[in-house]
């Protein structure tokens, strides 16, 4: 898989927000990207259980508001809000932790803007890895996997997708994404040294360099 790293990184707008969620301190990681397709097509790509595996993972569940979902070998959760072609909110439950994901679609000329907000409680994991812990994963999906699927219509090979972050080009992408998320954290008020140390730890985690 060959991509233009700078173009893929630059296509996503990233921000971090400190907030309270359910009465507790939390951080929101927000990624926004425009796709050259209609809201109906983009909605179908992110909610159709037959199509999601073409750019992410196999999924099962009850795909309506009040239902639940489970990604194969990954997160599951409850579907809190489902407004076709507009908004999707779910809990994101993985490894005993619960966070929240909100996706909003907005028509943008002849394309559609997708905004993804992932809210997580503040804790040791955030202190160690910063926003890149969630943000880089979403970068790999919305900047690469979903975009490649929408461009070609072809499924993304799961083995290629898993191996790509360990290639030289993949490592360049991870490093650039990690640095971009650090700058987003700094813009939210994080101490620059702490933000960049967390970004480096996150980069090493994603590229398998962490001991």
pLDDT at 170: 93
pLDDT, one tens digit per residue, over 109-157 is: 999 999 999 999 998 989 999 999 999 999 999 988 999 899 888 888 7
**Considering the domain boundaries, does residue 139 fall inside one?**
yes
158 pLDDT exceeds 90?
A: no
- Rounded Cα distance between 115 and 110, Å, is 17
pLDDT at 161: 82
140, β-bridge pairs: none
CA-to-CA dists, residue 11 to 18, 21, 22, 81, 156, angstroms = 24, 29, 32, 27, 19
160 pLDDT exceeds 90?
A: no
**Considering the domain boundaries, does residue 123 fall inside one?**
yes
pTM for the full model? 0.94
**Considering the domain boundaries, does residue 78 fall inside one?**
yes
**Considering the domain boundaries, does residue 211 fall inside one?**
no
**Considering the domain boundaries, does residue 154 fall inside one?**
yes
Q: Residues 65, 79: contact at Cβ < 8 Å?
A: yes
211 pLDDT exceeds 60?
A: no
Average confidence (pLDDT) over 14-27: 95
pLDDT at 154: 82
Range of the domain at 176: 5-206
pLDDT at 1: 62
**Considering the domain boundaries, does residue 121 fall inside one?**
yes
How many domains is the chain partitioned into structurally? 1
The CATH number of whichever domain residue 166 belongs to comes to: 3.30.530.20
pLDDT, one tens digit per residue, over 169-178 is: 999 999 999 9
210 pLDDT exceeds 80?
A: no
pLDDT, one tens digit per residue, over 41-97 is: 999 999 999 999 999 999 999 999 999 999 999 999 999 999 999 999 999 999 999
């Amino acid at each position: 898989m060959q991509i233009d790293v700078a173009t893929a990184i630059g296509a996503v707008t990233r921000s971090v927000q400190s907030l309270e969620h359910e009465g507790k301190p939390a951080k929101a990681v927000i990624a926004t990207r425009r796709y050259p397709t209609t809201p109906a097509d983009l909605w179908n790509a992110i909610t159709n259980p037959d199509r999601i595996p073409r750019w992410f993972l196999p999924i099962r569940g009850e795909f309506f508001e009040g239902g639940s979902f489970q990604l194969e070998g990954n997160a599951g959760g409850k579907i809190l809000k489902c407004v076709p072609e507009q908004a999707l909110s779910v809990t994101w439950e993985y490894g005993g932790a619960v966070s929240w994901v909100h996706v909003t679609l907005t028509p943008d000329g002849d394309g559609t803007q997708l905004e993804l907000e992932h809210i997580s409680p503040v804790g040791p994991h955030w202190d160690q890895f910063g926003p890149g812990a969630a943000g880089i994963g979403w970068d790999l999906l919305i900047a690469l996997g979903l975009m490649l699927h929408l461009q070609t219509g072809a499924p993304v090979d799961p083995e290629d997708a898993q191996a790509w972050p360990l290639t030289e080009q993949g490592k360049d992408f991870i490093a650039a994404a990690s640095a971009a998320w650090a700058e987003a954290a700094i813009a939210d008020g994080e101490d620059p040294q702490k933000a960049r140390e967390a970004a480096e730890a996150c980069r090493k985690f994603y590229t398998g360099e962490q001991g």
